[in-house]
A and B are shown apart, each in its own frame.
Chain A
């Protein structure tokens, strides 16, 4: 029986309820041991020596003095790394997809390509000694020319970031559907814009951290804050060890957001622990993290959009250029996401998307919540706003008119197989703003803006994604779940407990879950790509359902009643006529009869093979989450300050497993998106990072965050358990566009570059003298 039917029978006891999470209690009672909260006897402290230059040759690297300091146990450079060059697939996947593989050096060899690139590692008896050891390493650099803008990097005479690749162009994707020339010829109104987004940082409150040791069986064990425990394979490759000799234990994260998706400390810890045969702890400083950790891809996005006077879209011409930074990491995949959803959740018959991602000597860019699909919202929703204004059309009406429907195709040819809730979310978000309120002072102007989005959930189908889970009853009727799911703090583990509890008829606190151990829990893949609820949720659902069936077959014999008629609740199995048998009795009978009291299941996501996007041939993602945000801003016309006065975020989540967690994701994601819109910027000056402290890298405080009003719709048609869709990434997409559209509504200023600082708005209103200080590109207001 399907999950939703099952839940109907069980009465939706647990799923769909805002139950406090088990890890929340642990966290307030200070029981949770994060990655840095781990001590072992004889533990050393590990640190990384990093390049101060964004582009340089290493002429000399001498670790003699460092190695001779008392208390220094190891100093390692590229020479000491068995396999220093990694070819990384998409993290955690077992299926390779050619263009998505990326080359990475563990430690720099003869060149450094970004400021902060790791050059050497030390392990020492104390933090102080480790710091002294870093200071004692002698490095002579010869600074080299670098490139710091993707378009500069594509010029024929540009210095090559990776000379052996022949070009700074890392990857390109093209989509051509229909005929854009004839589309524009038909268009009765055409709007254009160039939009620029910035480098931002994940800025999780917990810095990167972990401890590694070699256990009694000779297994290299790494306890680390990670979104991907499958990195044990990367560590094994680097060290030249068999994969089954490396174990990664993922801790409960203090935030991930994609920043703990690539390897961070794992390989360094593995090298140091293996070399010293002692436990080693490495905790990055905030400043180190802000300096050197991968960032979100900045995009330059040129859009030309054509429509009929009725509002019907007829053509979209899009050019995307992304800055891949010094190393590829996930840049090709991020670009693919952006390309796939570049036209937004709308029907457009004629589409051209040309997308490129380019190496520079800026910090490497990789995964961050939204993953390419969020940057383009800033562009496509402002295009829609321009169109609505050009046509004198209500912003909701324009979206509704063009919204994709179930059964329609995206420009890449993918057919949408589930409900597309754009009309509902757009209407609900807009009307939930309520009646317009006047500005609170004469120098203030109020405006409202709408932005819709679609965000994929689940990995691209070319990766043939899967996740496994094991669910079992103990003899006393309590339940154990084992699955290799990293919990990033968004309730990944607790949702699985709810699912198991619902299916097996136990209270949720009767479920214990063990997660995130590559040796002891069945692998479930990465906690990224808004995939985990669908993947491990379905795996747990499947395993729990199989277990329920196994156990009820035995109970059926005891009660002489068909299994399909039995209910399980409160430790009792109940027949329709009221007769019961205690579950513990059933379990004892299972043991006697040799019926397993556990089940193991694997969920396979919809799979497909790579398509040629240009030939418009098919499926890239399993499915999408649709949303709409509505912002009301108050603009201070004197200072240009933008205050978000009211903010509504509406998403169709299919089925909320834990409504409180869903609301929390929506509110947190929206505020992260507002930080992206109004505050955050990694300031780079020719590859030199100027914002390497929390004093200078500005994330929203409670004063900058409005109370986001979450509106949760449940269409029941998601591919996750009980019809759920993912909600981790979707809310981070619309805010920048919603705010930009609201600013235009308030003061007639179209902001096309992020972040929108007050100066940008003030300049547009007052025409101030002098030039603005922007990231080297000048302020464009197209």
Chain B
């Protein structure tokens, strides 16, 4: 049937978008890829009076700045999945994007949109935690940078202030000796995860874990870092027992809810399984010089 009528505005610059959003107040919504907003409008879950279309903003850039990959918020999921640059420089982001929905969602959905929507079971918010991503936000008060863990506040809730937009995402370029993996479990291919895990580990020359990041989706109101798992690994040789212990720590560290699709106990169990699998694959990749 399509959405209920609204006033449509199109912005061509960030400043203009911000101003239009400010004037629109709480009844205004941002339209980027539309893969979250439009279904919600179609189902009458949201009924904005005003929609500000930001697709013409110059935010589709992709560039390397030394050790950082800078992505405009409007970079589409299919670009993350298929771009040679993203696959080489930030393969974890590519792998996470490949899990997002189906081909149609990936045609139009955007990185910034997915982060701003902040579904606790979504892949890119989880990946942003595993990547220590920095989000650049722009709003009426100007520009600011927020680290990923501070950005996600609750289910579908973020640190975005009224009329504020995500404009850019900055993630570290993969280093030598760094491995990555994304493991997702859903009832059906293409669905939101019941539980997902993203792991990023870097080994030093002695084969010890120099740096570990484990992030989880589907186990809380926001994506979460499995710091217990990271602490178990950092500075240690990642033999199977240690990896097992880290996965168990990840499971112990979450407080998932039960819902019609999965109980809390099962989500906790999946946390253990997926964390272990993600770590195993990430470590294999790290050992192979990240060439897997």
Taken together as a complex, chains A and B put the C-alpha atoms of A757 and B194 apart, in Å, by 12
Whether the Cβ atoms of B188 and A701 lie closer than 8 Å is: yes
Query: Are the CB atoms of A757 and B188 closer together than 8 Å?
Result: no
Q: Are B189 and A704 in contact (CB under 8 A)?
A: yes
* A639 engages B270 (CB within 8 Å): yes
Question: Is A759 in contact with B188, judged by CB distance below 8 angstroms?
Answer: no
Mark the stretch among A225-233, A419-427, A586-594, A762-770 that contacts chain B. A762-770
Q: Does A698 contact B187, Cβ atoms closer than 8 Å?
A: yes
The minimal Cβ–Cβ distance linking B106 to chain A, given in whole angstroms, is 15
B266 contacts the other chain (CB 8 A): yes
Interface size class of A (residues with CB under 8 A): 20 to 34
Indicate whether B265 reaches chain A with its CB closer than 8 angstroms.
yes
Q: Give A733-775 as 1s and 0s: 1 = Cβ < 8 Å from B's Cβ atoms.
A: 0000000000000000000000001110011001011111100
**Min distance, Cβ B1 to any Cβ of chain A, angstroms:** 6
Residue of B nearest to A759 (CB): B266
B5 at the A/B interface (Cβ < 8 Å)?
A: yes
Q: B269 an interface residue at 8 Å Cβ cutoff?
A: yes
| B262: interface (CB < 8 Å) | yes
- Asked if residues A770 and B263 are in contact (CB atoms below 8 Å), the reply is yes
Bound Cα distance from A87 to B31, whole angstroms: 51
A128, A698, A700, A762: the one contacting B266 at CB < 8 Å is A762
Q: For the complex, give the distance between the alpha carbons of A679 and B43 in Å.
A: 23
A64 interface residue, CB < 8 Å from B? no
Q: Are B43 and A693 in contact (CB under 8 A)?
A: yes
A131, B262: Cα distance in complex, Å: 35
CA distance A766 to B187 in the complex (A): 19
Cβ 8 A contact of A285, one of B1, B185, B190, B263: B1
Q: Specify which of A285, A695, A701, A773 is in contact with B258 (CB 8 Å cutoff).
A: A773
A641 within 8 A of B: yes
Main secondary structure of the interface of A (DSSP, over half): loop
Q: Is the CB of B262 within 8 A of A683?
A: no
Q: B23-67 interface mask toward A, CB cutoff 8 Å, 1 = contact, 0 = none? A: 000000000000000010001000000000000000000000000
Q: Residue A701 contacts which of B43, B190, B259 (CB distance < 8 angstroms)?
A: B190
Instruction: Give chain A nearest CB distance to B235 CB in angstroms.
Output: 28
* Given A287-B43, A700-B188, A701-B188, A762:B5 Cβ within 8 A: no
> Within the complex, which residue of A695, A704, A757, A766 is in contact with B269, where a contact is CB–CB below 8 Å?
A766
Residue pair A759, B262 in contact (C-beta under 8 Å): yes
- The complex places the Cα of A695 from the Cα of B265 at a distance, in Å, of 23
**Nearest-CB residue, chain B, relative to A757:** B187
**Interface mask (B272-289 → A, CB under 8 Å = 1, otherwise 0):** 010000000000000000
Residue in A128, A683, A771 whose beta carbon sits within 8 Å of that of B260 in the complex: A683
Residue among A638, A641, A698, A772 with the most chain B CB within 10 A? A638
Shortest distance from the beta carbon of A284 to any chain B beta carbon, whole Å: 11
The reply to whether the CB of A29 lies closer than 8 angstroms to some CB of chain B is: no
Cβ–Cβ contact A701 & B189, under 8 A: yes
Specify which of B5, B185, B187, B262 is in contact with A773 (CB 8 Å cutoff): B262
The answer to whether A769 and B265 have CB atoms under 8 Å apart is yes
B residues 1-16 near A (Cβ < 8 Å) are 1, 4-5
A690 lies within 8 A of chain B by Cβ: yes
Closest to A769 in B: B265
A759 to B187, CA, bound (A): 10
Q: Does A127 contact B (CB under 8 A)?
A: yes
The answer for the CA separation of A769 and B185 in the assembled complex, in Å, is: 19
Shortest C-beta distance, B163 to chain A (Å), equals 29
Q: How far is the CA of A730 from the CA of B209 in the complex (A)?
A: 57
Q: Does A703 contact B (CB under 8 A)?
A: yes
Are A762 and B269 touching (Cβ within 8 A)? Answer: yes
Q: Which of these, A287, A693, A700, A770, contacts B265 with CB under 8 Å?
A: A770
A770 pairs with B189, CB closer than 8 A: no
Shortest CB–CB separation between residue B192 and chain A, in angstroms?
8
Nearest A residue (CB) for B2: A127
B191 in the interface (beta carbon within 8 A):
yes
Task: Knowing A285-B1, A758-B187, A770-B258 are in contact, say whether A639-B263 is a contact too (CB < 8 A).
Answer: no
Chain B residues in 8 Å Cβ range of A763: 265-266
B191 x A698 contact (CB < 8 A): yes
What string of 1s and 0s marks CB contacts (under 8 Å) between A689-727 and chain B? 011010100101101100000000000000000000000
Contacts of B4 in A (CB 8 A): 128, 131
B13 to chain A, nearest CB (A): 33
Tell me the complex Cα distance, A211–B191, Å.
Answer: 35
Task: Confirm or deny: B156 has a beta carbon within 8 angstroms of a beta carbon on chain A.
Answer: no
Q: Which residue of chain A lies nearest to B270 when distances are taken between CB atoms in the complex?
A: A639
Residues 137 to 192 of chain B near chain A (Cβ within 8 Å): 185, 187-191
Q: CB-CB < 8 A to A771: which residues of B? A: 263, 265
Q: Contacts of B268 on A, CB cut-off 8 Å? A: 768-769
Complex: how many Å from CA A701 to CA B189? 7
Given the interface pairs A127-B1, A773-B262, the reply to whether A639 lies near B189 with Cβ below 8 Å is no
Of all chain A residues, the one with the shortest Cβ separation from B185 is A639
Q: How far is the CA of A391 from the CA of B4 in the complex (A)?
A: 64
In the assembled complex, how far is the CB of residue A633 from the closest CB belonging to chain B, in whole angstroms? 16
* A-side contacts of B264, CB under 8 Å: 770
Q: Shortest CB–CB separation between residue A688 and chain B, in angstroms?
A: 11
- Please tell me if the beta carbons of A679 and B187 are within 8 angstroms of each other in the complex: yes
B277 to chain A: closest CB distance in Å? 8
Given A287-B43, A698-B188, is A759 in contact with B263 using a C-beta cutoff of 8 Å? yes
- Cβ–Cβ < 8 Å partners of B265 in chain A: 763, 768-771
- A638 close to B258 (CB less than 8 A): no
The residue from A703, A766, A772 contacting B189, defined by CB atoms under 8 A apart: A703
Minimum distance in angstroms from B59 CB to a CB of chain A: 28
User: Which B residues contact A (CB, under 8 angstroms)?
Assistant: 1, 4-5, 39, 43, 185, 187-191, 258-266, 268-270, 273
6 smallest A-B Cβ distances: which pairs? A770-B265, A703-B189, A768-B265, A759-B266, A683-B260, A769-B265
Interface CB pairs A-B, < 8 A, 26: A127-B1, A128-B5, A285-B1, A639-B185, A639-B273, A695-B39, A695-B191, A698-B191, A701-B188, A701-B189, A704-B188, A704-B189, A758-B187, A762-B269, A763-B265, A768-B263, A768-B265, A768-B268, A769-B268, A770-B265, A772-B263, A772-B266, A773-B258, A773-B259, A773-B260, A773-B263
Interface residues of chain A, those whose CB is within 8 Å of chain B, are: 127-128, 131, 285, 287, 638-639, 641, 679, 683, 690-691, 693, 695, 698, 700-701, 703-704, 757-759, 762-763, 766, 768-773
Given A701-B188, A759-B262; 6 other pairs, CB 8 A cutoff? A698-B191, A703-B190, A704-B188, A768-B269, A770-B258, A771-B265
